[in-house]
């Protein structure tokens, strides 16, 4: 009896262990996993009905089935439904919009995605999950139209454009060019209207500007800015480097810049200064002058520029300078401002008010203040002997900001006057010409406002 009893209790224990072990096995086994399938759908809350919806469904034990349903206004429509004999994993599903989606009365839809995995859990039924995404249908492209703009743009010069852009979910608005530059736009005068100054870089042979509007559903609209293109030939100056110049000004500058440290060859020094140092100095200028304030503007008034009284023009904008030494070309550069000279240490007084965004030494440009006049229009004053302003100052029109000098890469006392639009140097001559200013700036603003006021 005792033996039998102990044997039977051993049997019960064995059975119990078997059940526990079996349960543990099931509990820890991959085919009995208890995680629901993972569902993701690429979306930002909008659907333009052009691109398919991209859905990824994944599960450790594979998928047995899934179902995608579109719900709209109480109606349900199955978009896709599949069952798999062999479990699928990392399933990528693309769902094209159903025809009915184009005729739906409300723009708000729900995409409901259900999936069940191939796990033996849940009495062999597997783990199920349902995920819902709310989307807004937007298949309408933004509306774009030209309002007013300069009639033409000259190579190296500027233009002004005002246009209208309308969309309920406008996401991105800018002006694309053929040379890669994207001009930022500023809200102008009334809601839905925008303004931008444009610049045709002197180094580019063609110019094309296209307004691009994108909405949250990725509907895109484009219109061309209708500008008549006017070519302009710029001077090519061949400059022979003399030993006097190399041993004088260049040797002096070479001592100043870290880039020329350890370089003894005079031509190498010149190349580094004319190319590397110049590129670095110009990058700083371009970075500072690329900024455009975002706030809406209701007007843009600029007076004819003439920062130096009774000055003679000593070098023009856009000169392509080719440097040679002992008969062979060694370097080149573009002169991106207008050089003006009067007396030594003459007073520099811009005609327009603005904000000082830089007032410091900048390599070849010497002591250099930069003033922002609004709308991404900047003026720059190089080679100054002394500065009367500091970064962050607001200046009034005709305030004396500096004195001319020969700091940086300058042979004699003069002002290097630069005008920049969103980081691109333009011809100062246009901004010093009453007729050009009237035709391209004040008249465009006036015309635009009249058109906008008419509705
Ligand atoms: Zn200059």
Q: How far is the CA of 337 from the centre of ligand 1 (A)?
A: 5
How far does residue 354's CA lie from ligand 1's centre (Å)?
A: 22
pLDDT of residue 1: 46
The alpha carbon of 178 and the centre of ligand 1 are apart by a number of angstroms equal to 28
Reading the block at residue 277, the tokens are 């140092």
For residues 91 and 56, the answer to whether their CB atoms sit within 8 Å is: yes
- pLDDT(4) > 70: no
- Quick check: 2 pLDDT over 60? no
Vertex 365 angle, CA 360 and 366, to 5°: 50
Spacing, Cα 71 to ligand 1 middle (Å): 67
CA of 338 to the centre of ligand 1 (A): 6
Compute, in angstroms, the gap from residue 273 CA to the centroid of ligand 1: 15
By percentage, how much of the chain surpasses pLDDT 70? Answer: 98
| 14 pLDDT higher than 90 | no
CA of 417 to the centre of ligand 1 (A): 7
Neighbours of 319 (CB within 10 A): 18
Chain segment 155-164, per-residue pLDDT in tens = 999 999 999 9
∠ CA 11-15-17, nearest 5°, is 115
Question: In angstroms, what is the span from residue 196 Cα to ligand 1's centroid?
Answer: 27
pLDDT in tens, 118-138: 888 888 889 999 999 999 999
Q: Is the pLDDT of residue 113 over 70?
A: yes
For residue 27, give the H/E element and its range. helix 2-28
The answer, yes or no, to whether residue 3 has pLDDT greater than 70, is: no
Mean pLDDT of 83-102: 89
CA of 236 to the centre of ligand 1 (A): 15
**DSSP strand pairing (236-240 vs 320-325):** parallel
406 Cα–ligand 1 center, Å? 11
Q: How far is the CA of 317 from the centre of ligand 1 (A)?
A: 8
Judge whether residue 7 has pLDDT over 70.
Answer: no
Worst-scoring range by mean pLDDT, 47-61, 204-218, 272-286, 352-366? 47-61
Residue 270: pLDDT above 50? yes
Q: List, in order, residues 6 or more apart from 307 with CB less than 8 Å away.
A: 340, 348, 349, 350, 351, 379, 381, 415, 417
List the single range of 31-45, 279-293, 359-373, 440-454 with lowest mean pLDDT.
Answer: 31-45
DSSP E strands, 158-234: 158-166, 170-177, 182-184, 186-187, 193-199, 209-215, 220-224, 228-230
State the distance from the centre of ligand 1 to the C-alpha of 247, rounded, in angstroms.
Answer: 21
Instruction: Let me know the angle formed at the C-alpha of 179 by 303 and 214, rounded to the nearest 5 degrees.
Output: 85
User: Which pLDDT does position 392 carry in this prediction?
Assistant: 97
In sign, the C-alpha dihedral spanning 338, 340, 344, 350 is negative
Going from the Cα of 270 to the center of ligand 1, the distance in angstroms, rounded, reads 17
Q: State residue 6's pLDDT score.
A: 59
What distance in angstroms lies between residue 339's CA and the mean position of ligand 1's atoms?
5
Q: How far is the CA of 404 from the centre of ligand 1 (A)?
A: 12
Q: Please compute the mean of the pLDDT values over residues 91-113 and round it to a whole number.
A: 89
Q: Tell how far the Cα of 89 is from the centroid of ligand 1, in angstroms.
A: 66
pLDDT of amino acid 431: 98
φ/ψ of 419, rounded to 5, equals -120, 130
208: CA distance to ligand 1 center in Å?
Answer: 28
Query: How many Å lie between the centroid of ligand 1 and the Cα of residue 364?
Result: 10
Distance from the alpha carbon of residue 279 to the mean position of ligand 1, in angstroms: 15
Lookup: tokens for 326? 């002992």
The pLDDT value recorded for residue 439 is 97
Distance from the CA of 332 to the center of ligand 1, in angstroms?
Answer: 14
Q: What are the tens digits of pLDDT across the range 355-379?
A: 999 999 999 999 999 999 999 999 9
**Tens of pLDDT along 187-204?**
999 999 999 999 999 999
Average per-residue pLDDT in the chain?
94
Give the pair of three-digit tokens for residue 74.
């109480």
Q: What is the pTM of this model?
A: 0.85
Distance between CA 132 and CA 398 in Å, rounded? 63
Helix (H) or strand (E) holding 365, with range, is none
Q: Residue 88 pLDDT more than 60? A: yes
Predicted pLDDT at 100: 83
Question: For 246-269, what is the mean pLDDT?
Answer: 94
Report how far ligand 1's centroid is from the alpha carbon of 371 (Å): 17
- How many angstroms separate the alpha carbon of residue 237 from the centre of ligand 1? 13
Higher per-residue confidence, 418 vs 35: 418
Spacing, Cα 224 to ligand 1 middle (Å): 34
175 CA to middle of ligand 1, Å? 30
CA–centroid distance, 202 to ligand 1, in Å, is 15
CA of 271 to the centre of ligand 1 (A): 18
Q: Is the pLDDT assigned to residue 33 strictly greater than 90?
A: no
């Amino acid at each position: 009896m005792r033996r039998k009893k102990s044997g039977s209790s051993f049997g019960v224990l064995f059975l119990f262990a078997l059940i526990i072990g079996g349960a543990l096995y099931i509990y820890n086994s991959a085919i009995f996993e208890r995680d629901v399938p993972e569902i993701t759908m690429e979306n930002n809350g909008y659907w333009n009905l052009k691109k398919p919806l991209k859905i990824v469904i994944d599960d450790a034990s594979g998928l047995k089935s899934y179902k995608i349903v579109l719900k709209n206004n109480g109606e349900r429509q199955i978009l896709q439904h599949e069952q798999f004999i062999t479990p699928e994993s990392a399933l990528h599903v693309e769902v094209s919009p159903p025809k009915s989606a184009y005729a739906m009365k409300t723009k708000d839809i729900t995409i409901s995605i259900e999936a069940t995995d191939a796990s033996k859990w849940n009495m062999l039924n597997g783990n199920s999950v349902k995920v819902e995404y709310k989307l807004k249908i937007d298949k309408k492209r933004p509306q774009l139209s030209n309002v007013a703009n300069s009639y033409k743009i000259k190579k190296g010069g500027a233009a002004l454009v005002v246009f209208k852009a309308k969309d309920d979910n406008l996401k991105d608005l800018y002006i694309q060019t053929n040379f890669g530059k994207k001009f930022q736009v500023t809200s102008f005068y009334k809601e839905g209207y925008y303004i931008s100054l444009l610049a045709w870089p002197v180094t580019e042979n063609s110019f094309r500007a296209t307004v691009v509007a994108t909405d949250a559903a990725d509907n895109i609209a484009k219109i061309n800015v209708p500008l008549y293109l006017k070519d302009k030939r710029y001077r090519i100056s061949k400059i022979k480097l003399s030993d006097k110049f190399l041993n004088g000004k260049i040797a002096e500058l070479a001592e100043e810049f870290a880039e020329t440290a350890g370089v003894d060859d005079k031509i190498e020094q010149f190349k580094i200064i004319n190319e590397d140092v110049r590129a670095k100095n110009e990058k700083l200028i371009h970075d500072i002058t690329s900024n455009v304030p975002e706030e809406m503007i209701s007007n843009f008034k600029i007076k004819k520029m003439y920062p130096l009284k009774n000055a003679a023009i000593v070098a023009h904008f856009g000169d392509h300078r080719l440097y040679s030494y002992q008969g062979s070309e060694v370097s080149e550069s573009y002169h991106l401002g207008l050089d003006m000279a009067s007396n030594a240490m003459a007073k520099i007084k811009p005609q327009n008010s603005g904000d000082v965004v830089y007032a410091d030494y900048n390599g070849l440009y010497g002591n250099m203040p930069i003033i922002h006049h609004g709308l991404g229009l900047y003026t720059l004053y190089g080679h100054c002997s002394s500065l009367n302003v500091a970064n962050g100052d607001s200046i009034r029109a005709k305030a004396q900001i500096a004195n001319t000098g020969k700091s940086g890469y300058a042979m004699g006392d003069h002002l290097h006057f630069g005008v920049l639009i969103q980081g691109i140097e333009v011809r100062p001559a246009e901004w010093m010409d009453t007729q050009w200013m009237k035709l391209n700036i004040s008249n465009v603003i006036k015309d635009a406002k009249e058109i906008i006021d008419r509705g």
